[in-house]
């Protein structure tokens, strides 16, 4: 017997234990905790940045030092700035890069012989996302406070893009933080998507809240099973 800690083996066994039964919050957190350990042990965080972000987010009160968080805030800003014109709630869930999260998890699971039932089924993944968003409720993603090097350049570019999107709607602001709030039972749960804005002009509300149901970022035909 090897003395080497093997998080992939533990993840494999935990995923096997989930087959055929409902997913709870503790199950989700254990999946992501073990996934995070796999990423760290095998130095996969750089090649799987969305998995790294969501694993970290579940274990922290807020996130403010992730490059992928900058991408999400920028996309969320555009989706919510356009809300009055489009009323596209699906664009909000797409902005969270949840499809990219699933794609990275599929690669990691398949590469370590971890059962992919959770990821291959539309209904299983929808349940996973409901539990995930519930647990992330009221824990914000924020822009980095003191970015350096490549992160600073990425942040500067993202702020420029967000300001450009705001100007099309007559403003000059950008997203500095994003919150999720969930209410109600799982099947009928409603979500509030809140952006806090940095507003140099100090005109109007410094936040926007949009409420609605969870609309999946991927269609059922993107999955191997219903």
Sign of CA dihedral 33, 115, 126, 120: positive
Q: Does 46 fall in a domain?
A: yes
Q: How far apart are CA 118 and CA 135, in angstroms?
A: 18
Q: How far apart are CA 180 and CA 133, in angstroms?
A: 7
Q: Does 136 fall in a domain?
A: yes
Tracing tokens 């989930």 back to the chain, one arrives at 18
Domain hosting residue 30, numbered range: 7-222
Q: What is the arithmetic mean of pLDDT over 93-120?
A: 95
Residue 186: predicted pLDDT = 64
Q: Which residue has the higher pLDDT, 139 or 168?
A: 139
Query: Residues 215, 89: contact at Cβ < 8 Å?
Result: yes
Element (DSSP H or E) covering residue 183: strand 174-183
Q: Does 2 fall in a domain?
A: no
Percent of the chain beyond pLDDT 70?
Answer: 96
Task: Please give the C-alpha separations between residue 175 and each of 55, 63, 164, in angstroms, as whole numbers.
Answer: 23, 14, 12
Nearest alpha-carbon partner for 198 in 147, 150, 145, 153: 145
Q: What are phi and psi for residue 141, nearest 5 degrees?
A: -95, 135
Q: How far apart are CA 82 and CA 15, in angstroms?
A: 39
Residue 84: predicted pLDDT = 74
Residue 69: predicted pLDDT = 93
Q: What is the arithmetic mean of pLDDT over 20-29?
A: 91
For the cut 90, the answer to whether the pLDDT of residue 128 exceeds it is yes
Nearest alpha-carbon partner for 178 in 41, 78, 46: 78
Q: What is the arithmetic mean of pLDDT over 96-117?
A: 96
Say which residues have a Cβ less than 8 Å from residue 164's Cβ, sequence separation at least 6. Answer: none
Residue 117: predicted pLDDT = 94
Q: Does 14 fall in a domain?
A: yes
Rounded mean pLDDT of the chain?
90
Token readout for 185 is 């039972």
Q: Does 1 fall in a domain?
A: no
Task: Please give the C-alpha separations between residue 225 and each of 102, 113, 123, 128, 220, in angstroms, as whole numbers.
Answer: 14, 19, 8, 15, 8
CA diameter of the chain: 66
Q: What are phi and psi for residue 26, nearest 5 degrees?
A: -60, -35
25-80: pLDDT as tens digits: 999 999 999 999 999 999 999 999 999 999 999 999 999 989 999 999 999 999 88
Residue 220: predicted pLDDT = 94
Q: Does 53 fall in a domain?
A: yes
Q: Does 29 fall in a domain?
A: yes
- How many domains would you assign to the chain? 1
Q: Does 37 fall in a domain?
A: yes
Residue 4: predicted pLDDT = 82
Nearest alpha-carbon partner for 207 in 198, 218, 216, 219: 198
145-197: pLDDT as tens digits: 888 888 899 999 999 999 998 888 778 889 999 999 988 776 677 889 999 98
Which stretches of 89-200 are DSSP H helices? 89-95, 98-111, 117-120, 122-136, 149-168
């Amino acid at each position: 017997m090897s003395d080497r800690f093997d998080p992939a083996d533990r993840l494999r066994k935990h995923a096997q234990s989930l087959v055929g039964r409902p997913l709870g919050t503790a199950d989700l957190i254990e999946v992501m905790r073990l996934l995070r350990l796999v990423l760290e042990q095998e130095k996969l965080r750089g090649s799987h940045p969305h998995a790294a972000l969501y694993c970290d987010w579940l274990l922290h009160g807020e996130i403010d030092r992730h490059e992928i968080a900058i991408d999400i805030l920028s996309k969320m800003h555009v989706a919510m700035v356009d809300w009055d014109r489009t009323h596209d709630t699906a664009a909000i869930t797409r902005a969270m890069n949840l499809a990219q999260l699933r794609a990275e998890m599929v690669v990691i699971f398949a590469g370590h012989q971890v059962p992919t039932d959770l990821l291959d089924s539309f209904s299983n993944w929808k349940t996973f996302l409901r539990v995930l968003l519930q647990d992330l409720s009221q824990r914000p993603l924020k822009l980095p406070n003191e970015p350096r090097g490549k992160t600073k350049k990425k942040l500067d570019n993202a702020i420029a893009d967000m300001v450009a999107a705001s100007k099309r709607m007559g403003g000059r602001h950008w997203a500095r933080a994003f919150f999720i709030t969930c209410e109600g039972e799982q099947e009928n749960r409603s979500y509030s998507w809140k952006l806090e804005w940095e507003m140099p002009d100090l005109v109007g509300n410094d936040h926007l809240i949009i409420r609605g149901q969870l609309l999946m970022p991927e269609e059922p035909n993107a999955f191997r099973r219903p």
